[in-house]
Amino acid sequence: METTLANPVSLTPGAIKELTRLMQADGFDKSQVLRIGVKGGGCSGMSYILGFDKPEEGDHAFDIAGIPCVMKRAHELYLAGMEIDWQDGLNNRGFTFRNPNASATCGCGTSFAV
């Protein structure tokens, strides 16, 4: 796992607050870090990965506001410059993704094309 100071993605204050809350919950496995990535699928061709996982060999490790994060190097091509936000409103609740590399997105906001 390679650690760098450059962050390929950013988190809004709302996302940082929610992720910190999740990491401080009883039973959270402190050996896990936030994994950010992509996978094939979804109505636009690719879907976002956002969840807690153990670091793997070859991961790009970085820290955002005290939140340890990892990403596969190959995923940076699709995610560089992306902003992750947390929405907690009446109609929408969850993480949202603002990806400058996406040429199209679907209505659910979790699938995109490049």
For the chain, what are the domain ranges? 2-113
pLDDT of residue 51: 97
User: What pLDDT does residue 45 have?
Assistant: 75
Report pTM: 0.84
> Coil, strand or helix: which one is 13?
helix
Q: What is the chain's pLDDT, residue by residue, as a tens digit (114 residues)?
A: 555 557 999 999 999 999 999 999 999 999 999 999 998 866 657 888 999 999 999 999 999 999 999 999 999 998 999 999 999 887 888 999 998 887 656 555 555 555
> By the 8 A CB rule, do 84 and 10 touch?
yes
Mind spelling out the 3-state secondary structure of 59-73? EEEEEECCEEEEEEH
Q: Look up the CATH architecture of domain 2-113.
A: Sandwich (2.60)
Contact 2, 61 (CB under 8 A): yes
Query: Looking at this protein, which amino acid is placed at residue 88?
Result: D
